Amino acid sequence: MRKALGKGIDALISRVQENDIALQNIKQISVSDIVPNRLQPRQDFDEESIKELAASIKKHGLAQPIIVQEIGYGKYEIIAGERRYRACKYLEMSKIDAIVKKNIEDEKKLAIALIENIQRENLNPVEQAMAYKKLMDEYKMNQSEIAEFCGKSKYAVSNSIRILELEEDILNALRNTSTTKFTEGHARALLGVPDKEERKRIFDRIISEKLSVRDIEDISKSYHTPTQRKAKNSSKKSPEIQEMEKELERTLGTKVEIMCGADPRVGKIVIHYYSLEDFDRISGKLRR
Residue-wise pLDDT for 188-197, tens only, equals 989 888 888 8
What is the torsion angle, in degrees rounded to the nearest 10, for the CA atoms of residue 117, residue 118, residue 121 and residue 124?
A: 100
For β-strands 66-72 and 95-101, DSSP reports them as parallel
- Its pTM surpasses 0.85: no
Residue-wise pLDDT for 156-208, tens only, equals 888 889 999 999 999 999 988 878 889 988 999 898 888 888 889 999 999 99
Residue 27 domain boundaries = 9-111
Same domain, 27 and 77: yes
pLDDT at 44: 65
> Given 195, 221, 247, which residue is the final one in a domain?
221
Same domain, 105 and 128: no
pLDDT at 120: 54
Same domain, 105 and 34: yes
Q: Would you please indicate which residues are annotated as catalytic (active-site) residues?
A: 82
Same domain, 107 and 14: yes
pLDDT at 221: 78
pLDDT at 15: 43
Residue 242 domain-assigned (yes or no): yes
Q: Which residues pair with 30 in a beta bridge?
A: 95
Q: How many domains are there within the chain? A: 3
Residue 29 domain-assigned (yes or no): yes
> Is the CB of residue 84 less than 8 Å from the CB of residue 62?
yes
3-state secondary structure string across 157-226 = HHHHHHHHHCCHHHHHHHHCHHHHCCCHHHHHHHCCCCCHHHHHHHHHHHHHHCCCHHHHHHHHHCCCCH
* Binned average pLDDT, 10 residues per bin, the chain of 288 residues: 42 44 68 80 71 87 84 84 87 90 68 61 79 78 79 82 92 86 90 86 90 86 57 60 82 81 76 75 80
pLDDT at 255: 79
